[in-house]
Chain A
């Protein structure tokens, strides 16, 4: 009797939740509201507000252009962790998932949901509860900073973008809701209360000219842009490189991406 018990103990330590039945896992999955649809086991996928198909297209658009092998990555606003998991699976040496709002939210309970997915997937990912306005150099310096779907949820996105710069060693990826996209001059729209999509956590809609200005002001030396893979110009994706970026991180950005800091690039995004 002693041996199986010891074995069970060992397995339980290394794979904490691996022993639960599919039915038990399903029950636990269903106890959360998910934003990311994540396949935890064959046939067992979390029912996220964002579908697996859209997440797959986003992952391809955001992470495929560069090689993550051996890189350090921080995912700011990780929520259920889909992009943290994707970065790890793509070979990142170190991945830190951070969040606060969705992780502490009484309905979303994002931290518990993230922990369930992390344990089930068995991925070696660090997690830290921290609000983006509290992030400082103390968090560390990361080759790649993922800042996806966060900018427009901040009352003061300028402060937080500056904070993102201070933790970026090579590449900052920003994905955000946009507005004023047919204006070549930099600007951003403010949304009081819940006027944008009946969501009171939406504050600002910047345009590409503004994002370029801000990122250059913060000391990024090159900025690439692409439309969101499924939502088009309504949301934009920005890859901002520090002067220290290695060539290998830049090379893979293909023709889906536009070098924004060249004459005529912003004007080229306007629809006549």
Chain B
């Protein structure tokens, strides 16, 4: 692949994420490079990914999958549903170009997380960013993700209803640059912290940790949910601002 070919490919795709493919070449993505880097640090600096098998849900252009590979993950499977399957979508093709340019050996597969079952296999780490934002049914998607998680589930999501102490989620619609030329209207949710804690606990996660988004504060939240099988040492990297929000019923 020549530099000219790469630049043509970058210009010929709509990008969800701003990926640095060369020192002087960054894809013009919806999510800025600085925010991606901050999210990567917040999600991954806590965990030792060396040798881990990681499944990413809603990979977009693969920024976090590429990061996981750089951080030593032995197997990375990047997946997306809407952005990779809606008619007219070019995000998968864009991600393939990026993987090629970065020389990153990740697996890629379109996947609806609602359809995940244990038959799909299992992964030490399962992660999903912009998780509830773009899912019509996050309840089912979380159940799917849980079914393939061996140790820890990492979630980054829009949040809402933060003033209410009761568990709840608010509906959100947005137009994303996926599907046809005009983009697509995608319906999703902003849950609050009590709801996330409850849903994750109901799925059998025994410890749930939380922190605000590194650059956007409480408008978005990061969750790390651990299964009882996860070794205690796995939690060692989770310092302030992470807090344990495990519901009392789980203990």
Contact = CB atoms under 8 A, between A and B. Distances in A.
Given A180-B168, A187-B170, A190-B168, A155 B198 contact: no
B139 interface: yes
Interface in A179-235: 180, 185-193, 209-210, 213-214, 217
B70 interface: no
A267 interface: no
B171 A156 contact: no
Contacts of B136: 158, 162, 217
Contact of B137 (A158, A192, A193, A210): A158
A210 B136 CA distance: 12
Contacts, number: 51
B111 interface: no
B191 to A, nearest CB: 9
A190 B198 contact: yes
A159 interface: yes
Interface string A158-191: 1100100000000000000000100001111111
Interface string B130-142: 0000001101100
Nearest to A180: B168
Interface residues of A, number: 20
A187 B139 contact: no
A165 to B, nearest CB: 12
B6 interface: no
A209 B195 CA distance: 20
Contacts of A189: 164, 166-168
DSSP class of B's interface residues: helix, strand, loop or mixed? mixed
Contact of B139 (A156, A192, A214): A156
A158 B166 CA distance: 20
Contacts of B167: 189-192
A187 B198 contact: no
B140 A159 contact: yes
Given A185-B171, A186-B171, A217-B187, A158 B195 contact: no
A255 B166 CA distance: 35
A210 B143 CA distance: 22
B171 A158 contact: no
Contacts of B94: none
A188 B140 contact: no
Interface in B91-147: 136-137, 139-140, 143
A210 B171 CA distance: 7
A178 B173 CA distance: 21
B187 A159 contact: no
A49 B166 CA distance: 29
A28 to B, nearest CB: 40
B161 interface: yes
A188 B189 CA distance: 10
A176 B192 CA distance: 23
Interface string B160-200: 11001011111101000000000000010000000100110
A171 to B, nearest CB: 22
B137 A187 contact: no
A208 to B, nearest CB: 12
Contacts of B164: 189
B169 A187 contact: yes
A203 B170 CA distance: 15
Contacts of B173: 213
A162 to B, nearest CB: 7
B168 A187 contact: yes
A155 B137 CA distance: 12
Contacts of B187: 213, 217
Which 3 pairs across A and B sit closest by C-beta, in order of nearness?
A186-B171, A187-B170, A190-B167
Interface of B: 136-137, 139-140, 143, 160-161, 164, 166-171, 173, 187, 195, 198-199, 249
Given A159-B139, A188-B168, A192-B167, 4 more contacts: A162-B136, A185-B171, A187-B169, A187-B170
18 contacts: A156-B137, A156-B139, A159-B137, A162-B137, A185-B170, A189-B166, A189-B167, A189-B168, A190-B169, A190-B195, A190-B199, A191-B167, A192-B167, A193-B249, A213-B173, A213-B187, A214-B171, A217-B187
